[in-house]
Amino acid sequence: TPIFLLVYDTFGGPDQLAAGVTPTAPRDIVIDRSLAEKYALVRGDPLMISGFEFTVSGIAQGAAAFFTPFAFTRYDDLIDFYFESDVAADISTFPLLSFLLIELGPGADRHAVAQAIERDVPQGDVFLPEDLAAHDENLGRVLFGPILRLMIGVGYVIGVLVTGIILFAAINARRGEFGVLKALGFDYRYLSTLVLLEALVLALIAIPLGTALAAAIGHLIEGALPLYRILATEPVPVLRTAVACLAFATVGALIPVRLIRHLDPALVFRS
Q: What is the pLDDT of residue 96?
A: 65
Q: What is the pLDDT of residues 114-164, one digit of tens each?
A: 999 989 988 888 898 888 888 888 888 888 889 988 998 898 888 878 877
147 and 249 share one domain: yes
State how many domains the chain has.
Answer: 3
CA neighbor of 44 nearest in space, from 78, 10, 21: 21
Asked whether residue 23 is assigned to any structural domain, the reply reads yes
Taking residues 61-90, what's their average pLDDT? 80
What lies within 8 Å, CB to CB, of 79 at 6+ separation is 96
161 and 228 share one domain: yes
164 and 265 share one domain: yes
Q: What is the pLDDT of residue 50?
A: 83
Asked whether residue 137 is assigned to any structural domain, the reply reads no
| Structural domain for 175, as ranges | 142-270
127 and 219 share one domain: no
CA neighbor of 7 nearest in space, from 25, 29, 26, 24: 29
Q: Taking the model in full, what pTM does it have?
A: 0.61
